[in-house]
């Protein structure tokens, strides 16, 4: 990966509520993919296992989409 990584920068002024600043920071981290990157690097996964999980997730999404198109789901 040769793309340049940017730093998350959050500038707040005096009187800005801390809880809003924290929420804003979390949104920025999510937008930059920091949490996703951290979780991916947390433990090494063999490429074959990554590929298998990718295929399984794609199959799961495909089945879910087909089920919605057919009007599937549980009816009580």
- Looking at residue 4, its pLDDT comes to 56
- Looking at residue 2, its pLDDT comes to 44
Could you tell me what percentage of the chain is helix, strand and coil, using 3-state DSSP and rounding each to the nearest 5? 60, 0, 40
Q: Tell me the whole-structure pTM to 2 decimals.
A: 0.51
Q: What does the chain come to in residues?
A: 76
How many angstroms separate the CA atoms of 9 and 25, rounded? 8
Domain extents for the chain?
Answer: 18-69
- Looking at residue 58, its pLDDT comes to 97
Task: For residue range 7-58, list pLDDT tens digits in order.
Answer: 888 888 888 899 999 999 999 999 998 988 898 899 999 999 999 999 999 9
How many angstroms separate the CA atoms of 30 and 39, rounded? 12
For residue 1, name the pLDDT band (cuts at 50, 70, 90): very low
């Amino acid at each position: 990966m040769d793309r340049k990584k940017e730093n998350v920068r959050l500038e707040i002024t005096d009187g800005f509520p801390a809880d809003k600043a924290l929420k804003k920071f979390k949104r920025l981290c999510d937008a930059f993919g920091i949490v996703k990157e951290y979780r991916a690097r947390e433990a090494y996964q063999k490429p074959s296992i990554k590929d298998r999980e990718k295929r399984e997730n794609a199959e799961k999404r495909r089945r879910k989409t087909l089920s919605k198109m057919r009007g599937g789901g549980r009816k009580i």
